[in-house]
Structure formats: structure tokens, C-alpha cells
């Protein structure tokens, strides 16, 4: 397996620290609003990465946190007139509803900041003792210049950062580049007892403390969106490696932005669509398909037209998966035909996924297989017979496509309306068969013709009647 590492800027062979175990930490949401499609992309991307490791036989310890105390949460609490912790609980519930709808697997651990204050304080104390942090007026700051490798993830130089840095009013920093590890609580804000007075953690230290608690001082993968590279992940590296003297993560993986009219989708720009809004109009599998149809590191342009395209593409695959009964009903002929090997497509699919989780290429390979199998199937239906090799190829293709899509996290569930429709068609076929037995051919023909008008074609075979959607 080759995985692109943001730190080195190149693909590297993936080998975990511990044999057969992958330790992953992915930055979760700050819970002050409903999640949007940008959050969905990160969640789905890392869900697929986790699923692929599991497909390869690894045990995955997957940690995704909740930032449940933050300036934005406090601000939303004032706007909604409810306590800050109720705001956090409300939007955690909302996020988990979205994740369930998108078939994102439950993390092994999903820690909340407010449940790990002790670990955060211990980490900050350790940094102070080592001289990497200092207390000032109830706040605690990290000394950026004391960590010589600062900027190695984002490829930024200290001199460039200093050019735009300044100390804001009320900050008691030694240096404009220093960042907060602990913030003194203002009146009316949430706070916890600490050696430096009542306060709460800074954003960056939270993730370091929680990641180290569940995954140890060095993990295999740390992930998140591109926007987290600086300052969040850069600061995590500085404080964590200063504390332990060890590499914090062996691979840094970042997913690209969701774009709207060439701008990043974000709450600050107001150009976002919530997951809930999209799922009111589209099946969750459609949104997952859209998000995986572009390589995870590339930006993806969002539009409702592209969701419609994704819906049509997914429908082609679903129609193929629903053709199993047609293929099994076809009589086998004596002819011997040469058919491609399904194993060739499995190998190509696995190679695409092993090459930095290239879901776009992997889906393309599945479409090639579906196209080839459909061509053979349609020819067989027209001739009302199929070779043994041809039937085997199509049934094996059906099995591989279904397995591959399940591995990528697709539910492949029919909507209830489609399930009812299938049962009604089967009932009409039974009624038509009974009419033919009674020689009521005009009634039987009316059923066939009306279904044809609805783009459902019936085929009478020696083994029985089958149907397909045109």
C-alpha cells in the first residue's frame, strides 16, 4: 500500500507501528451547528480509509473527537438562549444522526474535550516543566520558537509567520507566534480548576491529549481536512513532540475542500449546505458516491447537477445488481464462449485502493465491469439463452460489484417505494401467468403492454417470466 503523507509531500509504503493494527486519529467537529457537506466529505473519506484497512485484514483503532467547549459554542448558547453544554449535546446528536444516515462506522473511541480536562492539564504542566510553555495572567502559552521544526507540516518559515503576527489586546504573550494552551475563563464562561486558575483548554492541546490517551505517543495516521494543516495540526506536532521527544504521527492525511463556485464551502462564507438538507432530496448512497467520485486529496465541486449525475450513475449499478434473477432464469446453451476473468477486475480495484485510496479510479473499474457484464446479459436476454461461462461471469461480476460497494460503505438498500414497486410487478406477472393459463390472452397482453408503457419489459422464457427496467 502507498499512502500520501502531507509531511513528506510524497507517497510512501504504509507499514503500521504494530503488526496488523492501525492507529488512526481524525479531528472531529466543533459542535455548534448542523454538519455540512464539507464535514461529510472528511467523515466519508476517513470511513473508507478505515474500511479499506479492515478489508486488508488490519485491526483499526479509530478515534474521532468532539470539541464540545469553544468560543463558537458559547456564542451559539447566547443566540439560542440555552446553556453551552446543551448546545454541544444538541449538535453532537445531530452529527451522529448524519453519520448514521451516511453509513459512517462508529469510531472505536469518540472522546469529548470536557471529559478529558485532567489529561489536558497534565500535558500542559509537562510542557511548562520542560520549558516549552509558560503561564501569564491565568493563560498558558506555547513557546513556538523553542521548537526548531515548527512549520515542517505546512512548509511555512518562522520569518514568514512573524511578518503577519501580532499580539492581540488582552494577550500576555512573550512572542506574537506563541499560541494558547489554556485560556482564563471570562465571567459567565465555562471553566475548570487548574494550577493557573479557572479556565479552559486551547483548541490544539485538546487533540494532542486525547490522541495520546487512546493511541499512545506515536500513532500511525492523523487526519482531517486541508484547512487543519495550519495552525491546528502544526501546533499539535509542536506541543506533542516537545512533550514526548517522539514523532507524533507517522502519516498525515488531509482531504481536499468541497468547493461552491470556486470557493471553499464554509459556515463563515455562508455558502454551505447541511447534510440534512441534502438527504431530504437525495439517498445517502448518492451523497457518498458523489464524495468518492473524486480523489480524496483533490477539491470537489459541489452542485445539485453533480448530485443528479451521481444519482444516475448509482442507479446504473443498482439496476445491474437487480438483474440477478434475470440471469439465473436464462436457460444455458451448449455453446462455449470466451469470457473475461472477474479476477482481473478485482485485482485492478484493489490496486486502485492500495494506491493512496483512489476511490475515483476504483469506481471507474467497477463501471467497466458493469458495462461488460451488461452487454453480455442483454445479448443473452435477446437470444433467450446464455452460455455456462457467460452466466458464471455475470454472476461473479454481480458478487464482486456488491462486495466492492459494501467495502466502500454503500448501504445498497432499496428505497421503500422501490421495494413496493418490485412486489407489485411480481404480482402482475403472477396474474398475467394465470390469465394465460385460462386463455384470457387479451387481459395478459394488456398487462404486458401497460408495463411496457411504464418502461418495464417482460420476457417469457422456458423457465418463467422475467422483467427488466428499460
3-state SS assignment for residue 89: helix
**CA 223, CA 221: separation in Å to the nearest integer?**
6
232 among annotated binding-site residues: yes
359-361-366-370 Cα dihedral, nearest 10 degrees: 140
Q: 3-state class of 129 per DSSP?
A: helix
- 322 CB neighbour count, 10 Å cutoff: 15
Name all contacts of 114-117 with Cβ < 8 Å and 24+ positions apart.
114/68, 114/69, 114/85, 114/88, 116/206, 116/209, 116/210, 116/213, 117/192, 117/201
Distances (CA, A) of 22 to 18, 52, 61, 232, 251: 7, 11, 6, 23, 11
Q: Could you give the CA distance from residue 467 to residue 381 in angstroms, rounded to a whole number?
A: 10
Q: Per the annotation, does 27 bind a ligand?
A: yes
Q: How many C-beta atoms surround the C-beta of residue 416 within 10 A?
A: 8
H helices present in 248-334, as ranges: 275-279, 284-292, 304-321, 324-329
Report the relative pairing of strands 258-260 and 300-301 from DSSP bridges. Answer: parallel
**Is the CB of residue 212 less than 8 Å from the CB of residue 118?**
no
CA distance 340 to 344: 8
236 is in an annotated binding site: yes
E-only strand ranges, 219-289: 219-225, 249-255, 258-260, 263-264
Please state the residue numbers annotated as binding site for Zn(2+): 27, 207, 232, 236
Would you list which residues are annotated within the binding site?
Answer: 27, 207, 232, 236, 267
Binding residues for ATP: 267
Amino acid at each position: 500500500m502507498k499512502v500520501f503523507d502531507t509531511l513528506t509531500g510524497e507517497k510512501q509504503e504504509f507499514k503500521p507501528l504494530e503488526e496488523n493494527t492501525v492507529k488512526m486519529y481524525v479531528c472531529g467537529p466543533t459542535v455548534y451547528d448542523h454538519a455540512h457537506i464539507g464535514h461529510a466529505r472528511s467523515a466519508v473519506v476517513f470511513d473508507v480509509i478505515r474500511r479499506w484497512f479492515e478489508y486488508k485484514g488490519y485491526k483499526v483503532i479509530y478515534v474521532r473527537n468532539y470539541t464540545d467547549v469553544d468560543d463558537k459554542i458559547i456564542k451559539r448558547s447566547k443566540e439560542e438562549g440555552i446553556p453551552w453544554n446543551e448546545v454541544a449535546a444538541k449538535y453532537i446528536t445531530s452529527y451522529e444522526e448524519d453519520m448514521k444516515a451516511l453509513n459512517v462506522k462508529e469510531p472505536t473511541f469518540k472522546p469529548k474535550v470536557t471529559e478529558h480536562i485532567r489529561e489536558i492539564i497534565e500535558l500542559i504542566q509537562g510542557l511548562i516543566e520542560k520549558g516549552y510553555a509558560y503561564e501569564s495572567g491565568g493563560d498558558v502559552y506555547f513557546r513556538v520558537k523553542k521548537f526548531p521544526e515548527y512549520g515542517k507540516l505546512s512548509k511555512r518559515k518562522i520569518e514568514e509567520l512573524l511578518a503577519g503576527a501580532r499580539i492581540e489586546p488582552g494577550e500576555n504573550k512573550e512572542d506574537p507566534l506563541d499560541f494558547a494552551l489554556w485560556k482564563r475563563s471570562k465571567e459567565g464562561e465555562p471553566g475548570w480548576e487548574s494550577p493557573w486558575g479557572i479556565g479552559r483548554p486551547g483548541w490544539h492541546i485538546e487533540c494532542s491529549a486525547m490522541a495520546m490517551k487512546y493511541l499512545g505517543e506515536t500513532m500511525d495516521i492523523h487526519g482531517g481536512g486541508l484547512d487543519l494543516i495550519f495552525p491546528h495540526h502544526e501546533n499539535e506536532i509542536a506541543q506533542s513532540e516537545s512533550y514526548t521527544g517522539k514523532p507524533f504521527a507517522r502519516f498525515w492525511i488531509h482531504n481536499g475542500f468541497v468547493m461552491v463556485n470556486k470557493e471553499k464551502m464554509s459556515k463563515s462564507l455562508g455558502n454551505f449546505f447541511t447534510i440534512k438538507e441534502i438527504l431530504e432530496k437525495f439517498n445517502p448512497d448518492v451523497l457518498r458516491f458523489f464524495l468518492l467520485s473524486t480523489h480524496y486529496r483533490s477539491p470537489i465541486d459541489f452542485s445539485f447537477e453533480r448530485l443528479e449525475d451521481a444519482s444516475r450513475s448509482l442507479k446504473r449499478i443498482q439496476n445491474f445488481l437487480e438483474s440477478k434473477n434475470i440471469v439465473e432464469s436464462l436457460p444455458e446453451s451448449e455453446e462455449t464462449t470466451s469470457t473475461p476473468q472477474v479476477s482481473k477486475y478485482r485485482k485492478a480495484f484493489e490496486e486502485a485502493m492500495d494506491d493512496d485510496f483512489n476511490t475515483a479510479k476504483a469506481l471507474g473499474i467497477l463501471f467497466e465491469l458493469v458495462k461488460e457484464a451488461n452487454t453480455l446479459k442483454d445479448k443473452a436476454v435477446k437470444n433467450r439463452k446464455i452460455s455456462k461461462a457467460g452466466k458464471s461471469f455475470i454472476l461473479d461480476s454481480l458478487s464482486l460489484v456488491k462486495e466492492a460497494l459494501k467495502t466502500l460503505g454503500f448501504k445498497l438498500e432499496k428505497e421503500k417505494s422501490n421495494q413496493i414497486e418490485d412486489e407489485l410487478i411480481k404480482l402482475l406477472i403472477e396474474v398475467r401467468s394465470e390469465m394465460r393459463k385460462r386463455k384470457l390472452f387479451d387481459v395478459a397482453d394488456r398487462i404486458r403492454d401497460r408495463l411496457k408503457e411504464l418502461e418495464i419489459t417482460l420476457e417469457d422464457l422456458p423457465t418463467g417470466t422475467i422483467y427488466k427496467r428499460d
